[in-house]
Homo-oligomer: A and B are copies of this chain.
Amino acid sequence: MSEYSAPIRDMQFVLKELAGLADIGQLPGCEEASEDLVDAVLEEAGKFATGVLSPLNRIGDQQGARWNDGEVTTAEGWKAAYTQFSESGWTSLAGDPEYGGQGLPKIVNVAVMEMWKSANMAFSLCPMLTTGAIEALVLRGTDAQKATYLPRMISGEWTGTMNLTEPQAGSDLAAVRTKAEPQADGSYRIFGQKIFITYGEHDMTDNIVHLVLARLPDAPEGVKGISLFVVPKFMVNDDGSLGERNDVHCVSIEHKLGIHASPTCVLAFGDKGGAVGYLVGEANRGLEYMFIMMNEARFAVGMEGVALSERAYQQAVGYARDRVQGTEAGVRGGPKVPIIRHADVRRLLMSMRSQTEAMRAVAYVVAAATDVAHNHADEGERARAQAFVDLMIPIVKGWSTENSVDIASMGVQVHGGMGFIEETGAAQHLRDARITTIYEGTTAIQANDFIGRKIAREKGMTIKAVVEQMRAVEVELAQHENEEFRAIRAALAAGIVAVEEAVAYILETYGQDIKAASVGSVPMLKLFGIVAGGWQMARAALASRRQIEAGSTDAFYRNKIHTARFYADHVLSQAPGLAYAVIHGASGAWALEDDAF
C-alpha cells in the first residue's frame, strides 16, 4: 500500500478559484482564513496525514479494534497517534474559540477533513463523531454542561459518541425504546441498548462522552417523544477530575466488511442500576436537535466519498506507473510498457480522477456556502446560501459516496489479480468505502430528502436557481471556440436539459403519486450529482483557461481542462439515461406483487 500524499495543488485551486476563499475571508468571523494561513494549514495537515495517519491505515485494517470483557483496544500505534493528533491541535481546528477552539471556517476545515479521511478513514471517525457530540452540546447544552465537557472534547482529551439507533429501529428512529427515568437530583437513569455506536468504547482517551436518545416515562409515541441526554463513561467531579465509572458498557463490537480499526459498539446502558445521564435541551426535542446537526454529519460522510476516491486513485496511479506488462497497442514487438500506457487503464484512471475532482469541487463549494449561510452580514444572502446548502447536502452525501464505491472498485481493477490480494491495499479502500452509502442515512434516505424536502416542498425554487447558474456557465463555455470547450459544453447542455426534464417530472408526480416519484429518487440524486459535478468541472475549465490566457504556463491548468473534457464525455454523458429512468421507471418497479420476488 502506497502512502497518501495530500493533493494540495487541487485543493488550493478549488478553494481559491472555485469556492471563493477570498470572499469567505471577508465574512465577519472568518477573517483569519487568509490565503497564507490556509496554505500553511494545508501544508502541515498534509504532513501529518502522510507521516502519521497513513502508515497506520493498513495495520488498523489488519488488527482491527479488539474487544475483551468490555474493554476495547485499538490497533498498534493508534493511541499514540491520537494523542499526537489532539496535542497538535487538529481536534480543535474548527472548534468554538470560547471553549478553546481555533474557530477556522468550514472552507478550511473541509480540506483538512478530506486529508484525515484519505489517510486513514477508520481513524477519522473518532474526531468526526466527537464533533457531532460537541455540536449537540454547543447547540443545546446548559452552561454547566458546556463548561464540563466542551473544553476537553475540543482539545481532544475526551472523545464523544452519538447513540441513536437500536436493533429494532435501524433508520427509523421513531422506534427508539431506550428509557430515561428522572431522579430527585435532576439527573436521569438511562436503561436500554444502543447499536452501531462508532468509537463507543476505546483506549485512546480517559473519558468518552456519550450523547444518547431516549424516552422519558411520559413521552408521546413516535418521533416527538425522544429526548437527548449526555452520559459520560466516567462521572466528572466538580473539580473536573474523573469520578466513578458510569453504568454504560460495551457488550460487543461488530465484525465488519471494512473500517476494521473503528470499533462499532453495542452499548448497554443501565445493566447495573442505571446509567447517569443529564437532559440536553428540552424534553422530547431530541430528534429535532439531531436533525439540526444532520447536515454537518452527512456532509462529513460525503467527504469520506471524496477522500476514499482520492486515496484509491493515488494507489492505482502508483501501481499503473510501476507495473510493466505487455506492449503498447499497435506496437508489435515493441518494448514492455507500464500499464498506464494501456487504454483501459488510462480510462479507469481518468474516470477515477475526473470524478474525484468533480466531487471535491462540489463539496468545497458547498462548504463555502455553509460559511456564507452562517456568517454573512446580509440575511437574504444567508438564506440563499442556506437553501443551496440544504439542496446540496444529500448530493454531497449520496452522490459522492455512491461514486466512491465504484471508484474504489475501479482501483482494484487497475491492479488486476494483485488488487484481489489484501496485502496490496486496494481492496481495503473498497471495503472501507462500502459503509459510506449506508451510515448517516442510506442513499435512498438522502434521495427521499432530495426530491421531497429539497425539491417538491419548495416547488423546485432552489434547484431551478442552481440550473440557472449552470446555464450561465454553459453560455460562457460557448465563447471558447475550441474542441475541448465544445465537447464540455455539449455534454453540459444535454445534462442541464436532463435535469430540467427530471425535475419537472418530480414536481408533477410527487404530490399525486409519491411512490412513483420515489422510484426515481436515487436516479434523480445521481443525475443531479453528475450534472453538478459537470458544472463545477466546467467552471474549473473556464478558470484554468483564464489563467492560461493570462500567461500561466502551469501544466495544472492544461490538465484541468483535459480532465473536465474527459468527465464531460464519459460521465456527464450518462445524464440523459438517468433522466429516462427517473421519468419512465416507476411502473415497472411496482408491477410485481410482493410475493412474486
Contact = CB atoms under 8 A, between A and B. Distances in A.
Interface of A: 165, 169-172, 175, 196, 254-258, 317, 320-321, 323, 325-326, 328-330, 336, 338, 340-347, 349-350, 353, 405, 409, 412-413, 416-417, 419-423, 427, 430-431, 434-435, 437-439, 442-444, 447-448, 483, 487, 514-515, 518-519, 521-523, 555, 559, 562-563, 565-570, 573-578, 580-581, 584-585, 587-594, 596-597
A442 B416 contact: yes
A432 to B, nearest CB: 10
A592 B562 contact: yes
19 contacts: A329-B515, A330-B515, A341-B594, A343-B518, A345-B444, A346-B589, A346-B590, A349-B597, A350-B588, A413-B438, A413-B442, A420-B438, A559-B596, A562-B591, A563-B588, A565-B587, A569-B581, A570-B588, A573-B581
Given A559-B592, A573-B584, A422 B255 contact: yes
A27 to B, nearest CB: 35
Closest 5 CB pairs of A and B: A566-B588, A343-B518, A344-B444, A562-B591, A573-B580
Contacts of A437: 413
Contacts of A597: 317, 320-321, 340, 349, 353
Contacts of A326: 171-172
B325 A256 contact: no
Given A573-B580, A584-B569, A585-B569, A416 B170 contact: yes
A347 B522 contact: yes
B566 A585 contact: yes
A196 B418 CA distance: 10
Contact of A344 (B521, B574, B580): B521
A175 B323 CA distance: 13
Contact of A420 (B430, B435, B448, B569): B435
B569 A588 contact: yes
What copy number does this chain have within its complex? 2
A77 B419 CA distance: 29
Contacts of A421: 254-257
A588 B562 contact: yes
Contacts of A422: 255-257
B343 A519 contact: yes
A170 B417 contact: yes
Contact of A447 (B344, B346, B417): B344
A431 B589 CA distance: 27
A482 to B, nearest CB: 12
Given A555-B596, A573-B577, A427 B417 contact: no
A340 B569 contact: no
Nearest to A443: B413
Contacts of A412: 257, 434, 438
Nearest to A317: B597
Contact of A434 (B175, B430, B575): B430
Contact of A417 (B330, B439, B483, B588): B439
A408 to B, nearest CB: 10
A347 B170 CA distance: 20
A584 B487 CA distance: 8
A325 B588 contact: no
A257 B420 contact: yes
Nearest to A574: B577
A573 B422 CA distance: 36
A588 B576 contact: no
Contacts of A559: 591-592, 596
B344 A518 contact: yes
Given A196-B417, A563-B592, 7 more contacts: A170-B323, A172-B325, A256-B422, A258-B420, A342-B518, A570-B588, A574-B577
Contacts of A196: 417
Contacts of A416: 170-171, 438, 442
Contact of A570 (B175, B443, B555, B585): B585
A569 B580 contact: yes
Contacts of A419: 438
A391 B430 CA distance: 32
A321 to B, nearest CB: 7
A367 to B, nearest CB: 26
Contacts of A350: 588-589, 592
A256 B426 CA distance: 11
Nearest to A584: B569
A515 B349 contact: no
A442 B343 CA distance: 13
Nearest to A588: B566
Contacts of A562: 588, 591-592
A427 B346 contact: no
Nearest to A330: B514
Contact of A589 (B420, B566, B591, B593): B566
A433 to B, nearest CB: 10
A318 to B, nearest CB: 9
Contacts of A413: 437-438, 442-443
Contacts of A576: 576-577
A347 B438 contact: no
